[in-house]
Amino acid sequence: MTSIPPPSSTKKLGLVIDLDICVGCHACAVNCNEWNTGGHSAPLTDKNPYGKDPIGVWFNRIHSFEISYDNDDNNQGQTVHFPKSCLHCEDAPCVTVCPTGASYKRAEDGIVLINADRCIGCKLCSWACPYGAREFDDDAGVMKKCTLCIDRIYNENLPQAERKPVCVSTCPANARHFGDLGDVNSDISKLVAKRDGYALMPEQGCKPVNRYLPPRAMKYTGAPKKLKHMGGDIGLISRMINKFMPTSESK
Amino acid sequence: MHPAKSVIFFTTASGAGYGLIAIIIIANLFGVIAANIGFAIFSYQLLSFITAFGLITAGLLSSTFHLGQPKRALMSFSQWRTSWLSREAVMAVITYITAGVYGVYFCFSPDILSSKSVVMLIAIAALLSCVTTIYCTSMIYASLKPIHAWSNKFTPIGYLIFGLMGGVIILATILHIYDKANIMLDITVIVFSIIGLIFKLRYWSFIDHSKSISTIHSATGLGIFGKKNKDGKIAKVIMLEPPHSQNKYLLNEMGFKIARKHAKSLRLLTVILTFIAPTILFALVIIINQNILIAQIMTINALFLAAIGIFCERWLFFAEAKHTVTLYYGSHNV
């Protein structure tokens, strides 16, 4: 049923992503694809992988943004790497628009999943998601999305330490955290409270579960912007060119 | 948004089909046209109903071409509690029944449908189900909050206006072909064309002058925290690097960009073909009001031009709509 079920527990499993730490290495995206092409929604389409225009389904993507301040005398922009996957919304619009009941939200832990056997591939859920969390698999003719590694987090064949989403366990910088955001006393809820974690596009009204931790403002280190020429013999002609030719480099 | 041909054809064709049935019922209720009595294969009543059902069925079939798994299409009747797409599917079936029964009355007037109050009841049921189905189709789009150009009151009103407009042009043309022209219907075509034009211009002005509440700032949360710019405003955020070097589903489907380059000329084409051409041609038909053949040629041309025009209109409806996901791919507003 594609109504949002009344939660059977307070559990809201989700991710917390620390934008202050993420270095944009894409390891989480690569390992996500590696695990999930053999997991719950396997296989993930991977068309023309070595050709000119490879295209395929990925559950996790790392965007990169730059923040700039026009009153910054030191003209320092700040680069922020921004991983994005399904936010497992409490009021998931991708679930309620589904005409067949394929798209559903689990009452017990809030994970949003797709039952591939019921999906007719109408793509409406991907239109309803403001975040672009869903990707259509045109080999299978069905929609696919992040499963929060449901085949890992409850997998008793894995050692306890590995029972978390693969993007979390693979992150070399520890920028991703997994846990119960419905429990205010959980480690990640405390982390969110401490670091002023926020939700993406709250105005869309989907009540996403995942939280992002804001990057701290950069401090000016006092390092010179342009390296000075440290002397040494560069030759007469080079010196003349350096001195008299107009420079195309902006200030 | 990517303008898929199957979905454009579905919304325009089935919209005109439901609009045609609604117009037939209204015209019949007001005594502008009468039901056919007795069995006749070549009556205009039968032709107009076959046209309506043909358009509806072709549209619904076309919409299944958009599906990745069309063989499971029957499952889409199950989620009418929450899904407008499911409601649309359910209403389409209900309308087949109510409009089908009304069609039997309108085309043949069999003895079992001789009671006036029964016919009235069927007519109202069919009219309501036609209008509701168009409304459900429009709400599939109007319920999508991430798409500012759709998620507003213009969407359902527009689908209703254009559905009824298509219906009235088709019915008026069929009546001309049968030399049963009715000046009331000809005038209604002009009225609908003018209403349609005013509506479309207002819609375009709306999407040109308003934006989604979501921005690159709310989408990323960046620039809102930390220090502010000198005017006290939040810091500027730009996309530095996309997450992938090649195209992908999200960009093909939601990041469609061709329209904005051609928007102006396509809007002009829409205005001329959908609204001005039928207005002028039908006005000439009313003014000349002599030669049947000329009237037939003109109305058929008006119908043909309006059909192309409404296709442009719907193409733009999709192609000009921007989705919030593009905020993650370099758009600052949508």
pLDDT bucket at A216, cuts 50 / 70 / 90: confident
Q: Quick one: average pLDDT of B198-217?
A: 96
Q: Do A196 and B225 touch (CB under 8 A)?
A: yes
* Residue B35 near residue B105 (C-beta atoms within 8 A): yes
Contact A132 B67 (CB under 8 A): no
> pLDDT tier at B216 (50, 70, 90 boundaries)?
very high
pLDDT for res A71: 65
What's the rounded mean pLDDT across residues A172-182?
A: 97
B139 in contact with A, Cβ within 8 Å: no
With CB atoms and an 8 Å threshold, state whether A131 touches B324.
yes
Q: Is the pLDDT of residue A233 over 80?
A: no
Tell me the nearest-neighbour CA distance from A200 into chain B, angstroms. 5
- Which of B74, B82, B229, B231 to mutate to probe the A interface, most A CBs <10 Å? B82
User: Is the CB of residue B75 less than 8 Å away from at least one CB of chain A?
Assistant: yes
Consecutive H or E run containing B68 = none
User: If pLDDT is split at 50, 70 and 90, which confidence band does B263 have?
Assistant: confident
| Interchain contact B244–A (C-beta under 8 A) | yes
Closest chain A C-alpha to B3 CA, distance in angstroms? 13
Q: Is the pLDDT of residue A197 over 70?
A: yes
Average pLDDT over residues B195-213: 96
What span, in angstroms and rounded, lies between the C-alpha atoms of B67 and B61? Answer: 11
Q: Using alpha carbons only, how large is chain B's radius of gyration in Å?
A: 23
Is the pLDDT reported for residue B278 higher than 90?
yes
Chain A positions in Cβ-Cβ contact with residue B323 (cut-off 8 Å): 127, 130, 132
Q: Which tokens hold the place of A98? A: 């589904």
Q: What is the ipTM of this complex?
A: 0.92
| A23-32, A41-50, A127-136, A174-183: range with lowest mean pLDDT | A41-50
- B99/B105 Cα distance (integer angstroms): 10
Q: How far apart are CA B25 and CA B49, in angstroms?
A: 11
Question: Would you state the pLDDT for residue B226?
Answer: 63
Is beta strand A55-56 parallel, antiparallel or unpaired with respect to A211-213?
A: unpaired
Q: Give contacts of B3 with chain A, Cβ < 8 Å.
A: none
Reported confidence tier of residue A72, pLDDT bands at 50, 70, 90: low
Flag if B239 and A64 touch (Cβ within 8 Å): yes
B40 touches chain A (CB under 8 A): no
- What residue in A sits closest to B64 (Cα-Cα)? A122
Mean pLDDT of B269-282: 96
Report B:302-331 residues touching A (Cβ under 8 A).
323-325, 328-329
Predicted confidence at residue B40, as pLDDT, reads 85
Of B69, B228, B242, the CB nearest to A142: B69
Give Cα separations from B47 to B104, B133, B179 (angstroms): 12, 22, 14
| Contact call for A65 and B246, based on CB within 8 A | no
A214 and B226 in contact by Cβ < 8 A? yes
CB B75 to CB A100 under 8 A?
Answer: yes
CB contact under 8 A, B68 and A136: yes
CA distance A21 to A216: 10
Determine the average pLDDT of the residues in B35-53. Answer: 93
For A56, residues 6+ apart whose C-beta sits below 8 A from its C-beta are A44, A45, A46, A47, A49, B248
Phi, psi of B221 (to 5 degrees): 75, 0
Task: Say if CB A128 and CB B146 are below 8 A apart.
Answer: yes
Structure confidence at residue B129 as a pLDDT band (50, 70, 90): very high
Are B230 and A70 inside 8 Å of each other by CB? yes
How many Å lie between the alpha carbon of A29 and the closest alpha carbon of chain B? 10
pLDDT in tens, A199-211: 999 999 999 999 9
Kind of pairing, strands A78-84 and A103-105? Answer: unpaired
* Mean pLDDT computed over B114-143: 96
Give the pLDDT of residue B234. Answer: 80
Is the pLDDT at B16 greater than 90? The verdict is yes
3 state SS of B51: helix
What does the alpha-carbon distance between residue B282 and residue B183 come to, in Å, rounded to a whole number? 10
End-to-end CA distance of chain A: 61
Task: Work out whether strand A13-18 and strand A211-213 pair parallel, antiparallel, or are unpaired.
Answer: parallel
Q: Quick one: CA dihedral B21, B27, B30, B31, positive or negative?
A: negative
CB contact under 8 A, A63 and B143: no
Closest residue of A to B71, CA-based? Answer: A120
Q: A-chain residues within 8 Å CB-CB of B155?
A: none
Q: Which has the higher per-residue pLDDT, B267 or B39?
A: B267
The model carries a pTM of: 0.91
Give the angle subtended at the CA of B254 by the CAs of B248 and B255, to the nearest 5°: 75
Has residue B291 got a pLDDT over 90?
no
pLDDT band, residue B140 (cuts 50/70/90): very high
B146: closest CA of chain A, how far (Å)? 5
Got the DSSP string for A105-124? E-TTT--EEE-TTT-----H
Residue A251 has pLDDT above 60, yes or no: no
- Residue B301 pLDDT greater than 90, yes or no: yes
- Mutation target for A interface from B136, B237, B244, B332: give the one with most A CBs within 10 A: B244
Query: In this model, does residue A249 exceed pLDDT 60?
Result: no
Instruction: Determine the Cα–Cα distance for residues B91 and B97; give it in Å rounded to an integer.
Output: 10
Residue of chain B minimizing CA distance to A75: B229
**pLDDT in the model for residue A181:** 97
Q: Residue B183 — left, alpha, or beta (φ > 0 → left; ψ -120 to 50 → alpha)?
A: alpha
For B26, counting Cβ atoms within 10 Å of its Cβ (0-12 exposed, 13-18 middle, 19+ buried), the class is middle
- A110 in Cβ contact with A8 (< 8 Å): no
**Average pLDDT score over residue span A32-56:** 92
Cβ separation of B220 and A53 shorter than 8 Å? Answer: no
Residue in B68, B248, B323 nearest the CB of A55: B248
Q: What is the mean pLDDT of residues A147-156?
A: 96
Q: Does B332 touch chain A (CB under 8 A)?
A: no
- Following DSSP, what letter does each residue of B285-306 receive, concatenated? HHHH---HHHHHHHHHHHHHHH
Is residue A73 scored above 70 in pLDDT?
no
Instruction: Report how far apart, in Å, the C-alpha atoms of B189 and of each of B171, B280, B312 are.
Output: 10, 10, 19
Helices B292-319/B277-288 angle, 10° precision: 170
Residue A250 pLDDT class (50, 70, 90 cuts):
very low
Tell me, what amino acid is at A91? D
Name the band, by pLDDT with cuts 50, 70 and 90, for residue A244: confident
Tokens of B10: 């579905």
Q: CB–CB of B243 and A71 under 8 A?
A: no
**Mean pLDDT lowest for which of A88-92, B93-97, B215-219, B243-247?**
B243-247
For residue A68, the surrounding DSSP H or E stretch is: strand A61-68
Q: Tell me whether residues B328 and A142 touch, CB distance under 8 A.
A: no
**A241 or A224, greater pLDDT:** A241
